[in-house]
Structure 1
Amino acid sequence: MSSKVVLKTNKGKSTKGSKPSNNNSTSKVLKEWTTWTMKKAKVVTHYGFIPLIIFIGMNSEPKPTISQLLSPV
């Protein structure tokens, strides 16, 4: 299999003498980082919430047994 490389050019825009804009790339990186962080936070919250509640319950006074913590009554 061969792959073809395509280069995109700026049609009709002259970049001669102008400074490259890092604002768009910075905002793009920030958006990607934020999206990645929120996805990871969602997974951590999903799998860590019930164990956190059990851990807090086991360290409270009076100390309940695990069956008392998990029973709905």
Structure 2
Amino acid sequence: MAPKASLKGKGKAGKGSKGRKEQSTANCVKEWSTWAMKKAKVIVHFGFIPLVIVIGMNSEPKPSLYQLLSPV
């Protein structure tokens, strides 16, 4: 069997390396922002047309729902 490659760094940490706590915080922020963007995408996707209908219903002159939804 061939030996597995290690993912651990060798030697002393360089200037660009981060501590375990900083990496954990960075991963947490990255995961949270990804989660938030996915939720925002779904909200915008399913909320845009109802928002347009509500704004149209509250404008002057007040159209009926049929006039608002008809393509003509």
**What TM-score do you get using the length of structure 1 for normalisation?**
0.71
Question: Aligned residue for 1:17?
Answer: none
In structure 1, what is the Cα distance between the partners aligned to 2:22 and 2:9? 21
Asked if 1:24 corresponds to 2:23, the answer is yes
The CA deviation at 1:21 is 3.0
Over the aligned positions, Cα root-mean-square deviation in angstroms equals: 2.0
Change (3 A) 1:11 1:49: closer
Q: Which runs of 5+ in 1 are unaligned?
A: 1-9, 14-19
Question: Aligned residue for 1:6?
Answer: none
Q: Percent identity?
A: 60
Aligned to 1:72, the other structure's residue is in SS state: coil
- The number of equivalent residue pairs is 59
**What TM-score do you get using the length of structure 2 for normalisation?**
0.72
Question: Aligned residue for 2:57?
Answer: 58
Paired letter, 1:31 = K
Q: Which runs of 5+ in 2 are unaligned?
A: 1-7, 12-18
